[in-house]
Amino acid sequence: MKIDVLVIGGGSAGMSAGIKAYESGASVLIVERENKLGGILKQCIHNGFGLKYFKKEMTGPEYAHALEEKVNKLDIKVLTGTMVTGLSKKADGSFAVSVISKNGAYIINAKAIVLAMGCRERPSAAISLCGERPVGVLTAGCAQKIINIDGQMIGKKVVIIGSGDVGLIMARRLHYEGAKVEGVYEISSTPSGLNRNIVQCLNDYNIPLHLSETAVEIIGKDRVEGVVVAKVNPDFTFNMKTKRLIKCDTVLLSVGLVPENDLVSDLIKLNNTTGGAVVDDYYTTNIEGIFSCGNVLHVHDIVDDVTIEAEQAGLFAGQFALGNLNKGVKFNTISGNGVRYLVPNFVHAGSGFVSLKFRVTKTFKNPKIVATCGNEIIGERSAKILLPAQMEQIMIDRSKLKGDVKVEVYEG
């Protein structure tokens, strides 16, 4: 099979990228390992999606369905239940992609590839929890699938470790299902999830959030019987004098998400901070013809932003496949004061504006965000507050690019 643009992943990023690549004039194939398009959205039955992109409030399945309807109206080929097992660049610059499905193993030839595999949850091993391996320790996303898709309850008394957004949303979901959520324990001094989820999922239901406190041991052999928690010092060591036992039968882990780049980790260059690909402002990786977008590039806060980013990546992938993508002189983007990381890592001179996305290193009140190129300010804005858990962006003018771009944040 030959195709212009092959999109790996059929979630919000994959479908959005595929739609725009097709609209650019390219032939498109979306490959999805599950049996249905939609990705993680299929199990996110709560509302709050779509406000930015579709201009209306939707549930996760409704958002996924809206994108799938767009895909179905176009001549976009879709292979579900199909796993990509490898890819390589051929001498002519195109790609050979190995896939396997119930129909067997075969090769797909593509002129461009869009990586849209999403992200995965960090497991208990990532936080080195002590104890046995009893039943009742799950990641928040796994619990979400069991309850929302499989229709099964996971426990009656629950402790949530980490304050990521999925964990916060599951605290509310468990409360709705009659479970007692004993508390959410966050190792950092600030929450990992969005403030709206702190308010709507914890505060509204009197579920306590314990900052600078986390689990140090799981108690139980066959089934979870409790979890030992302790205060965390500023240097992230445990204050064992403060440890206490919280009785529970279930522990949910909401301790971070990691871009799912195992397929290409030996092929493309990855950013040590985000875990996603190093890309330019056209979402091109270090391998020309391979593009990356959505949560496989860097973990986003809301799916609407994933769609907007993926549409751009899909458009550029389509233009590349058709030989219509022209770039100017390339410059670096540099994370300055208060900036944890920047995406993209490179920008090109030219016309129009480009968005630089970033997260801050700490909480800033009444900050100013400044993008400079040499001694010239090429973008700036103010805000009421910036939080480490919240993705931000600043627009810069490509026509003013004459060198590397630095983004910095200043208090007050």
Three-class SS state of 328: coil
Residues 288-330 have pLDDT tens digits of 999 999 999 999 999 999 999 999 999 999 999 999 999 999 9
Non-local CB neighbours of 71 within 8 Å, separated by 6+ positions? 15, 18, 19, 30, 37, 78
Residues 10-39 have pLDDT tens digits of 999 999 999 999 999 999 999 999 999 999
Residue 412 pLDDT more than 80?
no
Residues 211-249 have pLDDT tens digits of 999 999 999 999 999 999 999 999 989 999 999 999 999
How far, in Å, CA of 192 to CA of 206, rounded?
19
Non-local CB neighbours of 262 within 8 Å, separated by 6+ positions? none
Q: What is the pLDDT of residue 47?
A: 92
Confidence of residue 169 (pLDDT cuts 50, 70, 90): very high
Q: What is the pLDDT of residue 132?
A: 80
Please, are residues 362 and 385 in contact by the beta-carbon 8 Å criterion? no
Residue 100 pLDDT more than 70?
yes
In the predicted model, what is the mean pLDDT of the chain?
A: 95
Domains located in the chain, CATH noted: 1-121+257-327 (3.50.50.60), 123-255 (3.50.50.60), 328-412 (2.60.40)
Non-local CB neighbours of 9 within 8 Å, separated by 6+ positions? 30, 31, 32, 39, 115, 116, 117, 118, 294, 296
How far, in Å, CA of 344 to CA of 351, rounded?
17
Question: What number is the average pLDDT over the span 162-169?
Answer: 95
Residue 97 pLDDT more than 80?
yes
How far, in Å, CA of 252 to CA of 179, rounded?
13
Residues 341-368 have pLDDT tens digits of 999 999 999 999 999 999 999 999 999 9
How far, in Å, CA of 320 to CA of 312, rounded?
12
Residue 244 CB burial class (10 angstroms; 0-12, 13-18, ≥19): exposed
